[in-house]
Amino acid sequence: MTLQVNNISRCINRNWIIKDMSFEVSNGECLALLGPSGCGKSTTLRLIAGLDSPNQGSIFIDNTDITNISPVDRNIGMVFQSYALFPHLNVLENLKLGLKVRGNKQTEIEERVNRILSIMQMSHLVKRRPNELSGGQKQRLALARAMLRQPNVYLLDEPMSNLDAQLREELRPELRDFIISGSKPVVYVTHDQQEAMSMSNKIAVMNEGEIQQIGTAKDLYNRPNSLFVASFIGRPQINTLSIKNNVITAIRPEHIYFNSEGLDCKLSHIEWLGNYQLLFIESKYGLIKMMCSAEQERPEKIKISWNKEREHDFDKKTGKRLNNI
């Protein structure tokens, strides 16, 4: 199975929510759509699912055009941000409903539901309603419901955002085992770059309805092609300095080091964060963040510098990359 999205656009009330977007996700690959809220990442997912239809462009699964096919016939497994479980049905009925309306045989339904229940370790919960399940159990039920029909493509819309930080970390390997390392294309929407980096093979950074850059996490971090990607990927945020005219020079806090022949600076304050410390340094180019090991000694007179090859130069007007590394 391959999911292909070709030049899709979506427009609501003359606002372009998605502009000319293309990407491809092949079998067993997980593409994360990453971007600030309102950038159109959920809309993209809805277009693939068939809940909305694109104004332009086409969507293919395995070379079949599904652009104008109803969501019923697309055979897509989707996990919603809110899980969207059916609140009046218990776990068993939630799972059976989709198979039943598709006309599967009773014995086959039983068999498939029981298999998924044991994989998800939910067999003891079958009689519970969604409001009697914990956050993690709800998420597993939503995953189970998506997997049950053996869909061609998985779409995950911020599947972790309703869980607390600890549970999220616990459930990540589970989600990876069940869906992401499977043999189907997966599109994973998130606004959490850490989640995107840890769950996916490829990341598409989106802003204002457009894909800014698609690449591996490493690519995006090391070779951002625009100022937006550079400042969106990587925490603490990249330093942006105007050293030359019409050029913004960006340099990551972790690439700055003390150097007695470097730039003259003054220490403003320090955030000590256990495994590292974040130094806020005032220079003639403005405030610079510097990240270094928590044990690092600070010299009396603060002078900093960085390697020229760690520098990213962007055009001040367009935000596009100027230098090549």
Where does this chain bind other proteins (CB under 8 A)? 46, 49, 51, 70-72, 76-78, 80-88, 97-98, 101-102, 130-131, 135, 138-139, 145, 149, 162-163
Q: How far is the CB of 107 from other proteins (least distance, A)?
A: 19
Instruction: List b or e across 203-218, with b for residues whose CB sees 16 or more CB atoms inside 10 angstroms.
Output: bbbbbebbbbbbbebe
Q: How far is the CB of 80 from other proteins (least distance, A)?
A: 5
- For the chain, state the CA radius of gyration: 24
Residue 144's CB is within 10 A of a number of other CB atoms, namely: 20
Contacts (Cβ under 8 Å, ≥6 apart) of 169: none
* Separation in Å, CA 135 to CA 82, 144, 160: 10, 14, 10
Q: Which is nearer to other proteins, 165 or 269 (CB)?
A: 165
Q: Which is nearer to other proteins, 95 or 217 (CB)?
A: 95
Q: DSSP readout, 18-51?
A: EEEEEEEEETT-EEEEE-STTSSHHHHHHHHHTS
Q: Which of 231, 229, 233, 166 is nearest to 196 (CA)?
A: 233
Q: How far is the CB of 270 from other proteins (least distance, A)?
A: 37
Q: Which is nearer to other proteins, 126 or 163 (CB)?
A: 163
Q: Which is nearer to other proteins, 85 or 265 (CB)?
A: 85
Q: Which is nearer to other proteins, 149 or 223 (CB)?
A: 149
157 by Cβ neighbours in 10 Å (0-12 / 13-18 / 19+) ranks as: buried
The SS3 call for residue 191 is coil
Q: Which is nearer to other proteins, 78 or 211 (CB)?
A: 78
Q: How far is the CB of 60 from other proteins (least distance, A)?
A: 19
Token pair recorded at residue 91: 């776990």
Q: How, if at all, do strands 64-65 and 76-79 pair?
A: unpaired
Q: Which is nearer to other proteins, 86 or 257 (CB)?
A: 86
Rounded-to-integer distance, Cα 147 and Cα 77, Å: 6
Helix (H) / strand (E) element for 136: namely helix 135-148
Q: How far is the CB of 83 from other proteins (least distance, A)?
A: 7
Q: Which is nearer to other proteins, 40 or 130 (CB)?
A: 130
Q: How far is the CB of 119 from other proteins (least distance, A)?
A: 19
Rounded-to-integer distance, Cα 179 and Cα 142, Å: 12
Backbone angles phi, psi at 132, to 5 degrees: -100, 10
Q: How far is the CB of 103 from other proteins (least distance, A)?
A: 9
Q: Which is nearer to other proteins, 138 or 252 (CB)?
A: 138
Q: Which of 251, 256, 254 is nearest to 276 (CA)?
A: 254
Helix (H) / strand (E) element for 214: namely strand 210-215
Q: How far is the CB of 163 from other proteins (least distance, A)?
A: 7
Q: How far is the CB of 260 from other proteins (least distance, A)?
A: 54
